[in-house]
Amino acid sequence: MSSRSMTTITGSLLTACFSAVLILSHTAVADDQGPGSGKGGKAVDKAPTGVKVTTLLPERISVDNSTRKTSFTVTVKNTGTEESGDLRLLVVGFDGLTVKNVEDCTAIAKKNLPEGANSGFACPVGKLATKNANSYEVDATFDLSRTGKICLPVQTSDGKKTYWQQGPVPFGTTNPSPNAPATPLLLGTDNKPVAPGGDRLPKTGAGSDVLPFGAAGAALLSAGAAGLWWSGRRPRRED
């Protein structure tokens, strides 16, 4: 990848999100994922007339307790009446959720990630025809002794506009099962970690109600990001 392309990815990522992503290995069963959900998603910059892009995450995933691995599918779709322009999807992990690989996507160097992120991938989506969608397989790990979040911004290919962002949204469980082969996690649930002996650990990481729309904006601004949408305005909510 050229240095110019990486600079563009870096700048747009810094304007995109602050969250934790769950990396799941091939030990997870696809049937465990449940239906897709846009929970935690919001429109950001105004899309062209007739274009409406959104993302979907599984409502539940399963983490292998011995390997911490799991896998899941993320989807970006255009539910509007007109074809989109060239798009890209960013998949970013925070805290206990680490993204190890995203099918057909390019890893973002750690030095180019926003503060607090541990991993990220940039996925070229291209143009999405009306009612069409692209899906990407994600491999990840999840440290069950911590909380974890994922963030999915959908941007123009040059990173100048973010039409949609799902997250930072947590995966987690309020009923840890350290002695079971696997732990199911639900989308939109803050993880309640448990120690091997069964004692609960203090909750780590920011809660879903403490998103970095202010502090993160300042941090990213200091990193040289342009067009920080969250630091100066409230995202538009989907009807």
Residue with the two structure tokens 């440290």: 143
| Cα 231 to Cα 39, 81, 108, 217, 235, distances in angstroms | 22, 31, 23, 5, 10
Distance between CA atoms of residues 158 and 172, nearest Å: 33
Distance between CA atoms of residues 228 and 108, nearest Å: 19
Convert the pLDDT of each residue in 53-75 to its tens digit: 999 999 999 999 999 999 999 99
Pick the range with the lowest mean pLDDT from 31-40, 59-68, 217-226. Answer: 217-226
Token code pair at residue 102: 């995203």
DSSP 112: G
Distance between CA atoms of residues 1 and 232, nearest Å: 32
Could you tell me the pLDDT band of residue 116, with boundaries at 50, 70 and 90? confident
Pick the range with the lowest mean pLDDT from 30-39, 138-147, 165-174, 223-232. Answer: 223-232
Cβ burial of 18 (10 Å; 0-12, 13-18, 19+) is buried
User: Is 155:12 a contact under the CB 8 Å cutoff?
Assistant: yes
Could you tell me the pLDDT band of residue 213, with boundaries at 50, 70 and 90? very low
Question: To which H or E segment does residue 234 belong?
Answer: none
Residue in 10, 9, 8, 14 with CA at minimum distance from that of residue 219: 14
Give the number of other CB atoms < 10 A from CB of residue 212: 20
Distance between CA atoms of residues 93 and 215, nearest Å: 18
**What does the chain come to in residues?**
239
Distance between CA atoms of residues 126 and 87, nearest Å: 5
